[in-house]
Amino acid sequence: MDIIYLRTPLALLLLPLVVFGAPTDEPNLTEPASGACKRCCDPLDSSTDAPPLPPSHHHLPYPMPEVRPYINITILKGEKGDRGEPGMPGKWGKEGPRGERGAQGQKGSKGQMGIAGDPCKHQYAAFSVGRKKALHSSEGYQVLIFDTVFVNLYSHFDMFNGKFYCYVGGLYYFSLNVHTWNFKETYMHIMHNEEEAVILYAQPSDRSIMQSQSLMLELQENDEIWVRLYKRERENAIYSDDVDVYITFNGYLVKPSLD
């Protein structure tokens, strides 16, 4: 009974030591200073309490020098080279917007007369031309050229080569008038293309006379009518002077073709 009674007080004395732990003589390095608050998650090292300062050149003991490179261009510049070959043309760019209408220019000079238009636009044809110079035939054939215009509707008669060009097919009337030369023969043809249509002839005589020839022809488009002199054994000539017109050639459309 005595032994059991002594063990009970001893157990009561050892219980606080198990719960709270035995005290030690070593000081607690992590114990905060008196009067300072610490959170349980704060690091143990107090040196890490303050955040580190960012690096700055102001904290350096002396300022850093600023380097600025400089190149003398006049030393590196060479002589001017030769002009190179032109390059290949580039691609066409996009078409730009249409510009504004410009100012009206000065009136130009009158142009040359153009060729005759579509024959369907006009159903008329007429000409009357003359010659003021006498003409002696040479060897062979000679085209009669005229130098005076009385009528030349739509310029169907070509004054440079002495031919009438048919632009309107149909029935035509033609007449040729000449003055013969004393003691000389007059031998002429009215030509339809390259064929003789009619002849105008006068024998040599001591008198000069007016001689004429006329006819009607049915022409097709692009036919040609002209006059030529023809020299045979005797001299062939027609008379005229610079004052009066002795030689005339006339023609006009009587009735156009229906087709």
Q: What is the DSSP letter of 147?
A: -
What is the predicted pLDDT for the residue at 248?
A: 95
User: Do 247 and 213 touch, CB atoms closer than 8 A?
Assistant: no
Max mean pLDDT among 16-20, 95-99, 164-168 falls in 164-168
What is the predicted pLDDT for the residue at 50?
A: 53
E strand residue ranges, the chain: 126-131, 135-136, 141-143, 148-152, 157-158, 163-165, 170-179, 186-192, 195-202, 210-219, 224-230, 237-238, 247-256
Q: Which amino acid is at 61?
A: P
Task: Calculate mean pLDDT across residues 244-249.
Answer: 93
The pLDDT of residue 247 is above 90 = yes
Residue 58, token pair as written in the block:
């102001």
- What digits encode the pLDDT tens for the residues 128-174? 999 999 888 776 788 999 999 999 999 999 999 999 999 999 999 99
The pLDDT of residue 249 is above 50 = yes
User: Which carries the bigger pLDDT value, residue 20 or residue 178?
Assistant: 178
What is the predicted pLDDT for the residue at 162?
A: 93
Number of Cβ within 10 Å of residue 145's Cβ equals 16
User: Do 237 and 137 touch, CB atoms closer than 8 A?
Assistant: yes
Residue length, the chain?
259
In the structure, what pLDDT confidence band is assigned to residue 69 with cuts at 50, 70 and 90? confident
What is the predicted pLDDT for the residue at 102?
A: 80
Secondary structure (DSSP) of 182-220: TT-BEEEEEEETTEEEEEEEE---SS--EEEEEEEEEE-
Residue 241, token pair as written in the block:
């002077």
What is the predicted pLDDT for the residue at 29?
A: 45
- What digits encode the pLDDT tens for the residues 187-198? 899 999 999 999
For the whole model, what pTM was predicted? 0.53
The pLDDT of residue 7 is above 80 = no
Q: What is the DSSP letter of 10?
A: H
Task: Calculate mean pLDDT across residues 6-35.
Answer: 50
In the structure, what pLDDT confidence band is assigned to residue 182 with cuts at 50, 70 and 90? confident
Task: Calculate mean pLDDT across residues 96-112.
Answer: 79
- What digits encode the pLDDT tens for the residues 26-53? 445 445 555 555 555 555 554 445 555 5
Query: 3-state SS of the chain: helix, strand, coil percent to 5?
Result: 15, 30, 55
The domain spans of the chain are 126-256
Query: Cα(238)–Cα(181) distance, rounded to whole angstroms?
Result: 6
For the domain covering 126-256, report its CATH number.
2.60.120.40
Of the chain, the percentage scoring pLDDT greater than 70 comes to 68
What is the predicted pLDDT for the residue at 75?
A: 65
What is the predicted pLDDT for the residue at 86?
A: 85
